[in-house]
Structure 1
Amino acid sequence: MPAKIYAPFERFNFSNKNCFLTGEALKTEEEKIQVFPQWLMSQYALEDKPFKLLDETISTYKDLKLPCSAHINDDFLEPLEEEIAAAFEKGYEGLIALDELKLFQWAGKLLYGIIFNEIQSGIRLMHSQGEEFSMSQSILLKFSQLHLMLQSINLPIIFEDFKPFSLFLFKVNNNPEEFGYRDEINTQTLALRIKDFGMVICLQDNASNYYYHKKVYEQIKDDTLHPIQFEEFSGRVFYSNYLFNRLPEYNILPVNEDIYIEEMPLRGLSSKPLFDEWQNKTYGQVLENFWKNWGFLLLEIIKNPEKPVSYLFDEDGNKIAAESISLSL
């Protein structure tokens, strides 16, 4: 008999009485796990730092939690956290040795945890105003599909000859004290820059962004980057995932005890490209945000609208060596 998939978005169940991953009833509402794992918060003293939610309310990293049954945490989530923590401790070399699916599951749990808290906050706000909480059907589908794929942590889910994500890993010459994190929950994009590495992941694009940036990634993936170079590449990926105009859909095929997930063709019936047209001005605005640490303004970035400023490649298209960049880390 195939395992049973939990679909919280069908009944919009986001209470603290049910496990976020399985839906099973919890013994107590105190049965919770941290969204940002304790080992990561401890390393960067994140517990009491502010975390801004989409409705402008301010939480803290330690206050972001997920209802989770003790046995799911003990049997599946804690072993995953331990494996990721051990890999992160080794830095870039530990990261590239990891199974990519584990990184997808870990990053997916983190982003879904933020989504869960955002939804709870939105429900509270709308109920306080006497209104029902709602979200667009496309966002609803995206979030529910991410949750489906997260259940590969605890269920025998097999991705049939495809990767549901794009993953980019780099060695980066970071300030060891810095915790560089950003996400975009609508496009399900996440970037993390700590220790001696940086990673960018698009959680639900069927590797489309990977192929979109493959030429550039192949040129720089074996180099040690300056942080501004990593942030530039991250900005490119965050922007391209915003331009990605398909909503992936999947067939779910139970076979004996396993559940196979099969991708449906992204092109579908549409003849338009998978990505909308790249606009340098909009990209420049993204880059201005990613380069805040270095104080760049939009007008400087797009002084030449045809060629925005780049620290990855010079005007002739040659790679820029990280050691030649004099900006502070």
Structure 2
Amino acid sequence: MTDLRVYDPFEKMQFSAQNCFLCGTSITSEQRTPVFATWLQQQYNLQQKELLLLDKSVTTFGDLTIPCCDNCHLHHIIPLEEQVEAAAAQGLAGLQALEEQKLFQWIGKMYYGTLVTELIKEADPLIRPEYAVSENPKMLGKFRSFYQVLQSLRVPMVFSDFLPCSLFLVEVNSTEDELPFEYQDELTTMAFSIKLGSVAIVCSLLDNGIIKRALGRFYRLTQGQQLHPVQLAEVKARVFYAAYIFNVVPEYFERPTKPGDEQLVLDTLIDDVTNEVFNPWEATSYAHMLEEMLKPWSIRKQHLMPELNQVISFIADTSDHFKPMPHFNKEEVLGHP
């Protein structure tokens, strides 16, 4: 009989090195799984690459692991990583062909692995964060909803007419691309991006696909195109900013099960009556987000807003057509050095 029970670590704030992050089973301190898979670390030489955590402590991709029982590691984590590795080896076409729910689980595992590390470290931080995640009830409620759908990694689960996230897959031109691997996430807004060679995946993890629909026309412009890294920065800025102004938290409900059921069906509800789905879009705030993404090119906010309430686009021209950018010349594109 298939076990369809969903584990909820938030009920008792059960975040420790002695409990499997995925099923809650009591384990030893040696039972752990990498947040970023071994194949990913080896392919992009990430083992010694540093990561800064919220308490200002530093770890590496190789050292970032989370508690995981042998059963979950063997039957859930490894098969998922093998599927993604095989898809990534085929480039954009391979990842586009992969079931979206698998991509959600893969990204979700990395995001949640980072989050769990932060929650465990908050019990004994190097430097106490100004805003502790575990002391924010609203954020914990959001994380709890996310974890409920992440259980699809362990429990056979069907999402009824929705995907919990928005996924954006784009191809990057290698001509002026100096970074084979990039990773960025924002814990509070649940925005995430990862670049694997010529393919970038940008994701908003808990919006039921609303952000993808909102950015649909813009996203369609990028399809079939090879983006310059500057253009990828704009894709990331738009998705991360949309996640920042996204103002609702989806609720998920399990349909009652009966003996013999082989999968759990989840329905969803978003309260768009008492809450606006998005807070107002503000040009200045978006320009600041875009500036952050464009730091490697030293492009400042004043360069991005030639006119009040108007932010330039590196992807769409004034007629909303794709703007090819095989090379980036700052003076040529912005009109000044």
TM-score (normalised: structure 2)? 0.90
Query: Helix, strand or coil for the counterpart of 1:51?
Result: strand
- Give the C-alpha shift of residue 60 in structure 1: 1.4
Corresponding position: 1:213 with 2:179: no
- Give the C-alpha shift of residue 254 in structure 1: 3.1
Partner residue, 1:242: 244
Partner residue, 1:196: 198
Distance in 2 of aligned mates of 1:31 and 1:220: 42
Residue range with higher mean Cα deviation, 155-164 or 99-108:
155-164
Contact 2:221 2:321 (8 Å CA) reproduced: no
Residues 100 and 70 of structure 1: is their aligned pair in 2 closer, same or farther, counting only changes over 3 Å? same
Residues 316 and 325 of structure 1: is their aligned pair in 2 closer, same or farther, counting only changes over 3 Å? farther
Partner residue, 2:335: none
Partner residue, 2:266: 261
Distance in 1 of aligned mates of 2:204 and 2:110: 13
- Give the C-alpha shift of residue 294 in structure 1: 1.0
Which runs of 5 or more structure 1 residues have no equivalent in the other structure? Answer: none
Contact 2:56 2:127 (8 Å CA) reproduced: no
Residues 144 and 126 of structure 1: is their aligned pair in 2 closer, same or farther, counting only changes over 3 Å? farther
Distance in 2 of aligned mates of 1:127 and 1:227: 34
Contact 2:246 2:278 (8 Å CA) reproduced: yes
- Give the C-alpha shift of residue 16 in structure 1: 1.1
Distance in 2 of aligned mates of 1:234 and 1:25: 38
Partner residue, 2:9: 8
Residues 255 and 85 of structure 1: is their aligned pair in 2 closer, same or farther, counting only changes over 3 Å? same
Which runs of 5 or more structure 2 residues have no equivalent in the other structure? Answer: 331-337
Query: Helix, strand or coil for the counterpart of 2:123?
Result: helix
Partner residue, 2:293: 290
Distance in 2 of aligned mates of 1:128 and 1:196: 38
Partner residue, 2:69: 69
CA deviation string 1:6-49 (max 9, x = no partner): 110110111111111001111x2100011011111112221112
Aligned partner of 2:14: which letter? N
Query: Helix, strand or coil for the counterpart of 1:9?
Result: coil
Residues 177 and 264 of structure 1: is their aligned pair in 2 closer, same or farther, counting only changes over 3 Å? closer
- Give the C-alpha shift of residue 265 in structure 1: 3.5
Partner residue, 1:17: 18
Contact 2:7 2:22 (8 Å CA) reproduced: yes
1:1-329 map, 5 Å:
3-26=4-27, 28-125=28-125, 134-174=134-174, 175=177, 177-256=179-258, 257=261, 258-267=263-272, 269-270=273-274, 273-323=276-326, 325-326=328-329
CA deviation string 1:79-126 (max 9, x = no partner): 100110111111111111111110000000000000000111111129
Contact 1:123 1:133 (8 Å CA) reproduced: no
- Give the C-alpha shift of residue 318 in structure 1: 3.2
Contact 1:165 1:203 (8 Å CA) reproduced: yes
Distance in 1 of aligned mates of 2:181 and 2:195: 7
Residues 182 and 127 of structure 1: is their aligned pair in 2 closer, same or farther, counting only changes over 3 Å? closer
Contact 1:173 1:197 (8 Å CA) reproduced: no
- Give the C-alpha shift of residue 4 in structure 1: 1.5
CA deviation string 1:165-206 (max 9, x = no partner): 111111111437531111111111111122111111111101
Distance in 1 of aligned mates of 2:271 and 2:212: 15
Distance in 1 of aligned mates of 2:150 and 2:323: 38
Runs of 4+ aligned structure 1 residues displaced above 6 Å come to 126-129
Distance in 1 of aligned mates of 2:72 and 2:292: 38
Distance in 2 of aligned mates of 1:66 and 1:76: 14
Distance in 1 of aligned mates of 2:225 and 2:181: 21
Distance in 2 of aligned mates of 1:220 and 1:243: 23
CA deviation string 1:184-238 (max 9, x = no partner): 1111111112211111111110111011101111222221111111110110110
Aligned partner of 1:260: which letter? V
Distance in 2 of aligned mates of 1:177 and 1:249: 38
Contact 2:21 2:68 (8 Å CA) reproduced: yes
Aligned partner of 1:262: which letter? D
Contact 2:204 2:243 (8 Å CA) reproduced: yes
Contact 1:127 1:133 (8 Å CA) reproduced: no
> Once the two structures are aligned, what percentage of the paired residues are identical?
33
